[in-house]
Copies of this chain bind each other. A is one copy, B any other.
């Protein structure tokens, strides 16, 4: 049976060992509690505002770290180490100085709007006065999740990235051991599905890994002959950029040795095989960077949702009919000027900050932030070594300056001084030597056999 716990005032008789929670002493009046689900860009921003208030803040996440998702593809391609882009939530938030803040490593299974509580994976119920849902998104296989997902993993969590890194590096190792030319070809074919920023970045990074880093490391295969195919359903890459930028992106990727297939909607994914338009491609490794949908958690709260499962929130990000529940980030459908805001880190950050201020203001702890307006600083995507595109309103940049800007912005956005140093050292190192610092295979893959079948 589940039961309601109240972390600040535990029901069990064990003495709380620290004095960090003043209410535990039973003197102060009950403070209102804000539960924040998800420690991504949105959740962290909200918590950073609220940790300075007098409200009780509880952040729940199923991992122990805040992840800098925009660089996750660099972990998958062995450029960065996992720890370079992950930071413990307890460190990102200032647990040391804010006794009103606590962090729980747990999943959220359900939201009980009637009794105002969330049900955690451990079976506990956590009561809330305000609830901020920032659970993010996950990949969406156009209704074929069960069939396609096992063969074409996406890239959302650190475990995804480490698994993909292992699969990519193992494909080369297995090809080196293989004596069957057909198997070798299949092992050295990588298909990236989706021509948005993630797909473009992934394909470019794969090309660099295969054609520069690993170029001379093997004896029986030539990594330079690796086939990298980027598959896109419509007629251009990076649809959100200008036509010229899209064309430049395609051209740059092709120069790097990536095959770009446009107008090739994916019609099927099986084990080691993709149907891209009418073309079948045999590939050991298939990477899904296409559609996303909101975390299924928000589907439970009984609100109207957009096509991708995002909750159609009110103008203040609350759920219609539940003014104490807010949905922000990738899981929210919020329109400005008639267009939904994109699922990007800056959108989630700004929304989190706004909702944090709003809640504080409602409890008399600060000024009302007024109506939310997204400050669009622009969008960028990197293609490869010294190549990127950026669009800032009507200003567009591409090539080396865009790439430098891209690097600077990403380092600046990273959480933590140490992580910034690490990323800069890794990037400089890779720039100078073409080496990748994180070519580490760890863990065993339960899904894919890593051993070759014995032949002959």
Binding site for B on A (CB under 8 A): 1-3, 5, 7-8, 10-14, 16-18, 20-21, 63-65, 81-84, 86, 88, 90-91, 95-96, 99, 102-106, 121-124, 158-159, 162, 169-170, 173, 176-177, 179-181, 184, 214, 216-222, 225, 418-419, 421-422, 425-426, 429, 435, 437-444, 451-452, 454, 456
Among B65, B437, B452, contact of A418 (Cβ-Cβ < 8 Å) = B437
Q: In the complex, what residues of B have CB within 8 A of residue A123's CB? A: 452, 454
With a 10 A CB-CB cut-off, give which of A7, A65, A181, A441 has the most chain B CB atoms: A441
With a 10 A CB-CB cut-off, give which of A96, A219, A418 has the most chain B CB atoms: A219
**Is there an interface contact between B14 and A216, defined as CB atoms closer than 8 Å?**
no
**Is there an interface contact between A84 and B82, defined as CB atoms closer than 8 Å?**
no
CA distance A225 to B18 in the complex (A): 10
- A5 and chain B: residue at smallest CB distance: B179
**Is there an interface contact between A440 and B122, defined as CB atoms closer than 8 Å?**
no
Q: In the complex, what residues of B have CB within 8 A of residue A422's CB? A: 422, 425, 437
Q: In the complex, what residues of B have CB within 8 A of residue A184's CB? A: 14
Q: In the complex, what residues of B have CB within 8 A of residue A16's CB? A: 220
**Is there an interface contact between B179 and A10, defined as CB atoms closer than 8 Å?**
yes
CA distance A162 to B440 in the complex (A): 12
Q: Can you give 30 A-B contacts (C-beta < 8 A)?
A: A1-B456, A2-B454, A12-B179, A12-B181, A14-B179, A17-B222, A18-B219, A18-B222, A64-B173, A81-B82, A81-B84, A83-B440, A86-B440, A88-B217, A90-B217, A90-B218, A91-B435, A95-B216, A95-B219, A96-B216, A99-B219, A102-B219, A102-B220, A105-B177, A123-B452, A158-B442, A162-B442, A418-B425, A418-B426, A421-B425
Q: In the complex, what residues of B have CB within 8 A of residue A105's CB? A: 170, 173, 176-177, 441
**Is there an interface contact between B12 and A122, defined as CB atoms closer than 8 Å?**
no
Closest beta carbon of chain B to A66's beta carbon, Å: 11
CA distance A225 to B179 in the complex (A): 58
CA distance A279 to B77 in the complex (A): 49
**Is there an interface contact between B83 and A438, defined as CB atoms closer than 8 Å?**
yes
CA distance A181 to B16 in the complex (A): 10
**Is there an interface contact between B14 and A181, defined as CB atoms closer than 8 Å?**
yes
15 additional A-B residue pairs with CB within 8 Å, beyond A7-B220, A95-B216:
A7-B219, A12-B180, A18-B219, A63-B441, A65-B440, A83-B437, A83-B438, A95-B218, A99-B219, A102-B218, A102-B220, A105-B173, A105-B441, A124-B454, A422-B437
**Is there an interface contact between B180 and A440, defined as CB atoms closer than 8 Å?**
no
- A67 and chain B: residue at smallest CB distance: B440
Closest beta carbon of chain B to A74's beta carbon, Å: 12
Closest beta carbon of chain B to A219's beta carbon, Å: 4
Closest beta carbon of chain B to A91's beta carbon, Å: 6
CA distance A222 to B24 in the complex (A): 14
Closest beta carbon of chain B to A217's beta carbon, Å: 4
Closest beta carbon of chain B to A435's beta carbon, Å: 6
CA distance A63 to B452 in the complex (A): 15
Closest beta carbon of chain B to A28's beta carbon, Å: 15
**Is there an interface contact between B440 and A82, defined as CB atoms closer than 8 Å?**
yes
